[in-house]
Amino acid sequence: MKVAIIGAGMAGLTVARRLQANGAEVTVFDKSKGTGGRLSSRSFEGGWIDHGAPYFPVDSPEFHDFLTKYLSAETLQRWQPPVSGTLREDEKAHFIGVPRNSAITRALLGDLCFQPSTRIARLERGPDGWQLFNDGESLLGVWPQVVIAVPAPQALALLQGQPSLAEVIAPVKMEPCWVAAVRTKTKLTAQADISVYQDTVVRRVTHNSAKTGRLNTDVYLVQATKSWSVAHLEESAANIGPQLQKRFDQLVASDATSELLFTHRWRYAFTETVLGQPFLWDDISKLGVCGDWCLGRKLEDAWQSGTQMASQMLLAAS
Ligand SMILES: Cc1cc2nc3c(=O)[nH]c(=O)nc-3n(C[C@H](O)[C@H](O)[C@H](O)COP(=O)(O)OP(=O)(O)OC[C@H]3O[C@@H](n4cnc5c(N)ncnc54)[C@H](O)[C@@H]3O)c2cc1C
């Protein structure tokens, strides 16, 4: 079985790992320089800042087993720090990657064949399978089977020639999220490591430096609310950063103002309207689609979707 997987986030790498473990020849593509997708981390002054999911719950023993099969005890650690405010299910703290969250997807990648910095611009069905083209319209190769493991709107763009799959995905909605990394000039002794606010601008603040291995001090990730992110979606990062920083300063009531480190827009951060089935698979054209948005809005949903996608493909091949 020869398979191309588009997307090196949790969903894509889960499919890749399961298929490779069952003898498939897998190639993974991602438009970014590395793995992780929305579980990404940025290097900063020799340490790390997690600017996607700051941590994640692991609810099922099967997800835990999968992670511990591929990750060392040092890479996957429990993190249950002081919390203020009421967390939603997907915001509940359980685990982090060490020294950064993207260490998890890096470990899952292992020895898989990976083509980073390669955005798949389109797919075309030829006599021998799927032809994949990059942004420059260069043909990257032909694969009998392809899995698209990217956020729903990006999957839709790749499914232009597949109306039957595109139609099913079309109702899925995803919401944006602006985030800013800030560093305080003094220690916030009264601030919980995870704070959730009932605020119009800021939803959640996570103390990045409180997580093992980040090698920085007093760095916080500030996550904007859905409505504020939607209202300011097309503004520049240069404009957004200072606004999030100012609101952070007010919320944490810090005497000294903070320093803004960087701002990032996640255009498709969270699932708003879920697909309601774990994956899509067209057994005639051998094209599959998976991702967190099939089942929910958290990392474990991405894993669950990828797991079931791979099971279906293995079943179809048997
Ligand atoms: C700010 C933020 C906070 C979050 N907080 C939490 C939390 O507290 N708890 C929790 O459980 N979850 C949280 N999440 C959600 C969690 O990160 C996602 O559910 C999960 O990472 C989704 O994994 P995925 O593999 O489905 O998609 P992604 O991680 O989005 O992976 C898709 C990959 O596809 C690549 N890609 C897209 N299009 C193309 C293309 N055309 N060609 C090549 N590559 C392409 C992307 O670069 C990306 O790497 C958060 C997300 C964000 C953004």
Rounded distance, CA 170 to CA 167, Å? 5
DSSP codes of every residue in 230-272: HHTTTS-HHHHHHHHHHHHHHHHT-SSPEEEEEEEEEEEEEEE
Q: Radius of gyration (Cα) for the chain, nearest Å?
A: 20
Strand 202-207 with 219-224, pairing: antiparallel
Model's pTM, two decimal places? 0.97
* Ligand 1 centroid, distance to 239 Cα (angstroms): 24
The per-residue pLDDT for 92 is: 80
pLDDT for res 186: 84
Ligand 1 atom with minimal separation from the 296 CA: 19
CA 26 – CA 20 distance, rounded (Å): 6
Alpha carbons 5 and 16: distance in angstroms, whole number: 7
258 lines ligand 1 (CB under 6 A): no
- Positions of the chain with pLDDT lower than 70, given as ranges: 254-256
What's the CA-to-centroid distance between 9 and ligand 1, angstroms?
Answer: 6
> Of ligand 1's atoms, which has the minimum distance to the CA of residue 29?
43
Is the CB of residue 6 below 6 angstroms from any atom belonging to ligand 1? Answer: yes
Pocket probe mutation, ligand 1, options 297, 299, 303, 308, max atoms within 8 Å of Cβ: 299
318 Cα–ligand 1 center, Å:
31
Nearest-angstrom CA–CA distance, 304 and 73: 22
Residue 89, pLDDT score: 83
Give the per-residue pLDDT at 190.
Answer: 87
Return d(Cα 318, Cα 314) in angstroms, integer: 6
pLDDT value at position 93? 74
User: In this predicted model, what pLDDT tens digit does every residue of 278-310 receive, in sequence order?
Assistant: 999 999 999 999 999 999 999 999 999 999 999
| pLDDT score for 256 | 67
